[in-house]
Structure 1
Amino acid sequence: MSKTSLSIQKDTQKTIIYLGGHWDFRTDIEHLNQLKTALKNSHLPLGIDFSDVTHIDFVFSCFLIDIFRNYSLNVEFINISDKIQRILGTIRSYVPKENAEYKQTKKFGNIFEKIGRWVESFFQKTLDFFNFMGITLYFFGQTLIHPSRIRIAPLVYHISESGFKALPVSILTAFIVGAAITLQGAMQLQSMGVPLVSIEITAKLSLREMGPFILALVIAGRSASSFTAQIGAMQITEEMDAMKTMSFTPFEFLVIPRVLALMIIMPLLVFLADIFALFGGMLAIKYQLGIGFAQYIERFYETVSWTHFWIGMIKAPFFGGAIAMVGCFRGFEVKGNTESVGIKTTVSVVNALFWIIFINAIFSVIWTKLGI
Structure 2
Amino acid sequence: MKKQFLTVEADQHHIKLISTGEWMLNAVRQIEIELLKVPCDKKIIWDLSGVNDFDSAGVLLFIEHLERFQKETDIEVIGYSDNQKDMYDLLNKNLPQIEVPAKKSYLEKLGRNAFEAYNDLKSFTTFIGHLFYAMFHTFIHPKDIRFKETVYHIHQSGFNAVIIIALTSFLVGMVISYQGAVQLAKFGADIFIVDTVAISITRELGPMITAIVIAGRSGSAYTAEIGAMKITEEIAAMRTMGFDPYTFLVLPRVFALMISLPLLIFFADIIGILGGMVASSIQLGISPTLFIERVYEVLEVKHYLLGMMKGPVFAFLIASIGCFRGFQVAHNTESIGLQTTASVVNSIFLVIAFDALFSVIFTELGL
TMscore range, shorter length: 0.7 to 0.9
Give the drift of 1:297. Answer: 1.3
Q: Which residue is equivalent to 1:305? A: 300
Matched with 1:135 is 130
The letter of the residue matching 1:361 is: A
Please tell me the residue identity of whatever aligns with 1:78. V
Q: 1:77 offset after TM fit, Å?
A: 4.3
Equivalent in 145, 149, 154 of residue 154 of structure 1: 149
Q: Matched residues in 2 for 1:185 and 1:305: separation?
A: 21
Would you say the 8 A contact 1:49–1:79 is kept in 2? yes
Deviations 1:292-316 (A, max 9, x none): 1111111111111000000110001
Task: Tell me the SS of whatever aligns to 1:78.
Answer: strand
1:76 aligns with 2:75: yes
Residues 1:272 and 2:271 are matched in the alignment: no
Give the letter for the 1:164 counterpart: F
| 1:81-105, Cα deviation, whole Å (9 max, x unpaired) | xxxxxxxxxxxxxxxxxxxxxxxxx
Work out which of the two has the higher radius of gyration on C-alpha atoms and give 1 or 2. 2
TM-score by length of structure 2 reads 0.76
Residues 75 and 280 of structure 1: is their aligned pair in 2 closer, same or farther, counting only changes over 3 Å? farther
Worse-matched range after superposition: 232-241 or 337-346: 337-346
Aligned pairs for 1:197-236 (under 5 A) are 197-236=192-231
Q: How many percent of aligned residue pairs carry the same amino acid?
A: 46
1:75–1:246 Cα change, 3 Å? farther
- Cα displacement string for residues 120-145 of structure 1 (whole angstroms, at most 9, x for unaligned residues): 11121122112212221221222223
- Aligned partner of 1:283 among 278, 284, 287: 278
Aligned 8 A contact 1:224 1:327 in 2: yes
Distance verdict in 2 for CA 1:136–1:290, change over 3 Å: same
Aligned with 1:119 (options 106, 114, 117) = 114
* Maintained 8 Å contact 2:18/2:48: no
Change beyond 3 A, Cα 1:247–1:282: same
Residues 1-372 of structure 1: pairs in structure 2 closer than 5 A? 11=6, 44=38, 73-74=72-73, 76-79=75-78, 107=103, 110-372=105-367
C-alpha separation in 1, matches of 2:137 and 2:148: 18
Distance 2:254 2:225 in 1: 14
Q: Report the secondary structure of 2:180's partner residue.
A: helix
Residue 60 of structure 1 corresponds to which residue in structure 2? none
Instruction: List runs of 5+ in structure 1 lacking aligned partners.
Output: 1-8, 18-37, 53-63, 81-105
- Going from structure 1 to structure 2, the CA distance change for 1:262 and 1:78 (only over 3 Å counts) comes to same
Deviation, structure 1 residue 16: 9.3
Question: Any unmatched runs of 5+ in structure 2?
Answer: 9-15, 20-31, 50-62, 80-101
Task: Decide whether the 8 Å contact of 2:17 with 2:46 is kept in 1.
Answer: no
Question: SS at the partner of 1:355?
Answer: helix
Task: Tell me by how many angstroms 1:196 deviates.
Answer: 1.2
Amino acid paired to 1:293: P
* Distance in 1 between residues matched to 2:155 and 2:46, nearest whole Å: 71
Contact 1:195 1:289 in 2 (8 A): yes
Q: Which amino acid aligns with 1:76?
A: I
Which residue type is aligned with residue 142 of structure 1?
H
